[in-house]
Amino acid sequence: MRKPSLFTICLVIFIACWIFLRFIVGSVISVPIPNSVIVMYMALILIAILVHISVEDSRLSEFLRPIIETLVDENKRVRRIVLVVLIPLFVLGYTYTNIAQKASPPGDPRDAHPSPPLELTYKDEVLENTENPYRHLKKDDPEEFKSHVENGRKVYYDNCFYCHGDHLDGQGHFANALNPLPANFQDPGIIPNFQESFFFWRISKGGPGLPKEGTPWNSAMPIWEDHLEKDEIWDVILFLSEYTGYSYREVGH
Amino acid sequence: MRKSIYVLSFIIFSIFSVNIMVYAQDAPEVSEKGKEVYEESCAHCHGVEGRGDGSAAKNLLPQPRDFTGGIYKIRSTAGGELPTDKDLFDIISKGMPGSSMPEWESALSADERWEVVAYIKTFYEGFKENESPPIEISLEGKIPYSEESVEIGKFFYAQFACFECHGNVGRGDGTSAPTLQDEWGFKSWPANLAQSWNFRGGSSTEDIYKRFIGGIAGSAMPMFEDASFGLSVEEAQRYGQLENKVEMTDAEDEEFNSLDEKMGNAYDILDMMTEGLADEEQKQLHAEAMKVFQEKSWHIANYVKSLAPEKRPEPAIGKNALRSQYTVDTLPTIDDAAWETLEASYFPLVGQIVVEPRQFNPTIDSVNVKSFYNDTEVAFLFIWDDRTNNTEEMEDEDLGKTFEDAIAIQFPVKIPEDPTAPKPYFLWGGKKAVYLWQWKASAADTVTELTAKGITKAEVQEVQGDLQAEGKYTDGQYRLWIKRALKTDDKKDLQIEPGEFVPIAFSVWDGANGDVDTKRVISSWYSFVLEPVPSSKRFIYPPLVALLSLGILVGLRGFVQRRNT
């Protein structure tokens, strides 16, 4: 078998990298990568290829050989004609679809998580202790702890499950009208990343309590301190972690 | 006068309409595990003792099932029968669309779901006593979907009086709709057959057929009744035709009487069957009549299937955003056929549960919107289904206090300059104000402009009169047409430019469902844009760029050739 030319190898590597980033990563390895990031990666790969072929003169000329042959050799006539037709056609199609594209509405460029305020408050009262006052019961008085979790469950089903769902996955029967979707507590990136005080803040102040930075939040989360007692909020926070099996980030970590 | 008494004397007999099928007990023995899963996942709605009285139940409609009565809505079994284990397993797995019962497939393993089935059955003694398996509905003789079948189904939909509850075109707006209650005295609305995604037991033709034949136990949906029992499909249609004639010829009169007699005989035989007195020949005749009845039911199932889209439409997010189409002509009025050429944008709505009084059990699913604009004006058509037309606040015999139906369309007063700028709070604004168009059913041609800085802080604008409107209610659906100039002199109004994305949101009130003030259904912010006329650039630049690339190729070849020589 004839050894593939340097040009073919480079082309295959380039296309393989693109397929890997565009399709394999998104479906097999993790979540899809944004297009702009793919373009950046591909630019780096292109530079690497160019560096590789231009290190030695002989490599460069080997690389250019098939291109030059295609451009001028008499016996490459068919390939030349095909390319001369295909390349401008591709360019035509590509620019047309780009120009004729419908404008898409503004997306929601936002930070994943807002930064909490310096002081934890409930209505206007400043909470000196930002830890969950019932957390210690888990060790000290399991029975009492259980009754707080049960109360949290009740609070959750009376108020939260319409949007956050029976499975605590943000897929409640009211969720479909909301954009962005309600928080998914089953997501391993949510509960373990935050202290309980963060949850207390988000529940008590809701969407309107979000900071000026990182807007637009577009959160439909109500201001729950208008409806719930302080203890009810702490209890529902206990319920969230007991139900999902995730632990909150501990204070000082 | 000639109306047959038999048509009025509907008889329930679906028990006879099904074939006995062998059925396997699927659920495992009751175990501690089933109780555990039930108490962790089900009890907060259905109650620890299965009475449907969990802590969340008070705000839910339909109410969580009370398992102690053995009454199950969604069954594959005949009327009056208990469900099969598989029925219970399927409902737990798939949930009940349009209610607060979610699917449990994603949260519980199949084993856990079977354990729960076994445990739920312990709440009702009847499951233990019932030694013979429930009679399942046979799906034999299914009539495939076709235009002809839909037409025939439409006839029987009318003849069997489905419209009394489900309305003329199936939007659940029949005259008896407001009076219906379930077994436990809670309000129960007939299904809107145009919204198949809310059918509790699924929307396949088979699902619909089973709901007909077996009824929906505990709800107002009866077991199925054949209004032209004993008559074939053609005879039933002919009967309906003659029945509606003002004057009949002698021949027609004779024909009508003979059909009437045939129907009477069939009912007589049915009585004999029920009393166990029928002879072989009569049994044969009865079996034939039942077969035709099933045929009619399949046609109705096909008709119902034809009333709704296959899937719930995609919400108007991203590429589905509401796009107003440019036209050079004058803008269409409310009944103009031009609206039919546009695809509607679908905005799902949910209950407002942030501010008291709250709406936990909405009856309005969504609002659909279409829009056209020209050089000076923009016109919108807002379409939403509402089972009742309420034009005033009143005391309803069945529903209690009802209010006026209404809609409000919300925009920000000031369009955010860039995508990162915050919008006003989605519930009628907050620190940032929103601009509203409010329409009420009592004044069909009036839209009021409001400015609001919170859901309870709306003010009628001093300057009114920029808007033209016309609203209509037909067959369970509101259509509201609004037209406005793109630019107005009033600084508190929204000023609209083509190509600029404008946030839009909705509030809708169903007065029959107690909606008033903050109690209503709402959406969060969506986007609307006057779709710019496609630029003529698209015919100029691409060919130029293509030519350029051709030029580069030719030039490259020339360059290489020259260098080689």
- Please write the tens of the pLDDT for every residue from A78-105: 988 898 899 999 999 988 887 776 667 7
The predicted pLDDT at position A253 comes to: 54
The label of the residue with tokens 């609001």 reads B452
Q: ipTM of the assembly?
A: 0.79
CATH number of the domain within which A196 lies: 1.10.760
> What is chain B's length?
565
pLDDT value at residue B12: 36
What residues make up the domain containing A22? 6-100
Q: Tell me what pLDDT residue A185 has.
A: 94
Assess contact for B544 and B552: CB atoms under 8 A. Answer: no
DSSP letter assigned to residue B384? E
Find, in chain A, the residue whose alpha carbon is nearest to that of B499: A103
Residues pairing with B451 in the sheet: B435, B459
Length of chain A: 253
Residue with tokens 């990162």: B420
A69 and A184 housed in the same domain: no
At B31, which amino acid appears? S
Residue B105 pLDDT = 93
Share of chain A above pLDDT 90, in %: 45
Same domain? A127 vs A232: yes
Check residue A158 and give its pLDDT.
87
- Looking up tokens 């005080």 gives A197
| C-alpha dihedral (B440, B443, B446, B449), degrees to nearest 10 | -40
The answer to whether residues A95 and A143 belong to one domain is no
pLDDT given at position B16 = 38
Size of interface A-B (CB pairs under 8 A): 153
End-to-end CA gap in chain A: 61
A17 pLDDT tier (thresholds 50, 70, 90): very high
Stretch 50-69 of chain B: residues touching chain A, C-beta under 8 Å: 54-56, 59
pLDDT value of residue B503 = 92
Residue B62 CA to residue B360 CA, distance in Å, equals: 11
Side-chain-side CA neighbours of residue B487 (13 Å)? 5
In a domain, A95, yes or no: yes
Chosen domain end from A69, A100, A131: A100
Give the Å distances, CA to CA, from B329 to B303, B333, B373, B486: 38, 12, 9, 15
Q: How far apart are CA A213 and CA B45, in angstroms?
A: 40
Interchain contact, A109 vs B420, CB within 8 Å = yes
Assigned domain for A66 exists: yes
Distance from CA of B106 to the nearest CA of A (A): 9
Contacts of A172 in chain B (CB under 8 A): 102
How close does chain B come to A25, measured CA to CA in Å?
24
Paired tokens of B529 = 């844009």
Q: Closest-CA residue in chain A for B431?
A: A208
- The predicted pLDDT at position B435 comes to 93
Task: Please state whether B290 falls in left (phi above 0), alpha (psi between -120 and 50) or beta.
Answer: alpha
Sign of CA dihedral B531, B537, B543, B548: negative
How sure is the predictor about A108, in pLDDT bands with cuts at 50, 70 and 90? low
Q: Is residue A116 part of a domain?
A: no
Q: How many domains does chain A have?
A: 2
CATH of B318-533, one of 3.40.50.300, 2.60.40.1190, 2.60.40.1220, 2.60.40.10: 2.60.40.1190
**Distance between the two ends of chain B, CA-based, in angstroms?**
107
* A12 part of contact set with chain B, CB < 8 Å: no
Average pLDDT for A38-45: 93
| pLDDT on residue A89 | 92
Q: What is the mean pLDDT of residues A152-157?
A: 93
The backbone torsions φ and ψ at residue B448, rounded to the nearest 5 degrees and listed phi first, read -100, 135
Q: Which residues of B touch A106 (CB under 8 A)?
A: 418-419, 501, 527
The answer as to CATH 2.40.100.10 being correct for domain B20-129 is no
Local structure of residue A136 (DSSP, 8 states): T
Q: Is the pLDDT of residue A251 over 80?
A: no
Tell me, yes or no, if A104 comes closer than 8 A to chain B by beta carbon.
yes
When pLDDT is averaged across residues A198-216 and rounded to a whole number, the result is 85
pLDDT means per 10 residues, chain B with 565 residues, are: 38 38 60 92 93 90 92 92 94 93 93 95 88 87 96 95 95 95 92 96 95 90 83 93 89 93 91 87 90 95 95 88 92 95 95 89 96 95 97 92 97 82 87 93 94 93 87 97 89 83 95 96 92 81 90 89 82
Give the per-residue pLDDT at A236.
97
Do A72 and A177 lie in one domain? The reply is: no
What is the pTM (predicted TM-score) of this model? Answer: 0.83
Q: Where does a domain end: A100, A134, A160?
A: A100
Q: Write out residues 103-142 of B within 8 Å (CB-CB) of A.
A: 106-107
Which residues of chain A neighbour B535 with C-beta distances below 8 Å?
A: 99
**A95:B59 CB<8 A:** no
Residue holding tokens 């709402």? B522
Rounded to whole angstroms, the Cα distance separating B348 from B523 reads: 7
Whether the ω angle into residue B62 lies within 30 degrees of 0, i.e. cis, is yes
pLDDT of residue B409: 97
Residue A131 lies in a domain: yes
Confidence at residue B38, expressed as pLDDT on a 0 to 100 scale? 96
Q: Quick check: is A149 in a domain?
A: yes
CA distance B483 to B481: 7
Residues A142 and A234 in one domain: yes
Per-chain mean pLDDT for chain A: 87
Nearest of B18, B45, B50, B22 to residue B34 by alpha carbon: B50
pLDDT at A16: 95
Specify whether A131 is located in the same domain as A216: yes
Q: Residue A251: inside a domain, yes or no?
A: no
d(CA B502, CA B412): 8
Confidence of residue A197 (pLDDT cuts 50, 70, 90): very high
pLDDT the model gives residue B193: 97
Whether A95 and A155 share a structural domain: no
A-proximal residues of B, 310-369, CB under 8 Å: 315, 317-319, 321, 323, 347-351, 353-355, 360
Buried b (16+ CB within 10 A) or exposed e, B336-362: eebbeebebbbbbbbbbbbbeebbbbb
CA distance B544 to chain A (A): 8
